[in-house]
Amino acid sequence: MNTDTAPLHVTLLVGSNRHGRFGPVVADWLLDHLRAHDDLVPEVVDVAGTDLPTTLARTPEAQTALQEISPKLARADAFVVLTPEYNHSFPAGLKNVIDWHYTEWRAKPVGLVSYGGLAGGLRAAEHLRQVFAELHAVTVRDTVSFHNAGASFDDAGRLLDPSGPDAAAKTMLDQLVWWGRALRDAKEVRPYDAA
């Protein structure tokens, strides 16, 4: 298949592992958008389902967890990271999964979706831009954020007013596809060499 038109493999990284988390509600909404986008084939890594130690010690338990997570990150052409905002930043569990990996992120685009209170998780998203820049990943400009996220969805997990978030998701995913194809094609011509 021509790589110009081949769908991109995108890994959705669900970044919350807090008890009673709201993340799965937003993740389900986001997965509907990923699946509806003809250019994307989604896969999920949920931080709550990982069992990685924060010591970065390659114990047998860590190796087992990495066997589940690392291939999903490695085969991705692009990422969407879903983060809540805890204490003006992103959760430690999300950072831990990110830190366990390096080459898996290189020269790939990252779309950011955040949720929280009044700030909508935007501070967490901005902090993630710095982290992914260090890992040689490219964050796309536009984000999706949910301000007062709990009040934005009904009890069945449907958005009360989907017009704004749906438009933001389309813009972000279109940018992700452009960057994903551009970087995938560039790496075929000239492999990325991170010093």
* pTM tops 0.85, yes or no: yes
Question: In the prediction, which pLDDT does 5 show?
Answer: 81
Give CA–CA dist 101/106, Å, rounded.
10
Q: In 9-99, where does DSSP find H-type helix?
A: 23-36, 60-74, 92-99
Cβ count near 101 (within 10 Å):
15
pLDDT score at 25? 97
pLDDT along the chain (195 residues), means of 10: 79 95 97 96 97 94 96 98 97 98 97 96 98 98 96 95 97 98 96 80
| 49 CB-near residues (< 8 Å, 6+ apart) | none
CA distance 122 to 180: 23
β-partners of residue 44 are 12
What is the spatial distance between Cα 91 and Cα 81, in angstroms, rounded to a whole number? 12
Residue 2: the pLDDT is 55
Q: How many CB atoms lie within 10 A of CB 159?
A: 16
Rounded to whole angstroms, the Cα distance separating 108 from 187 reads 10
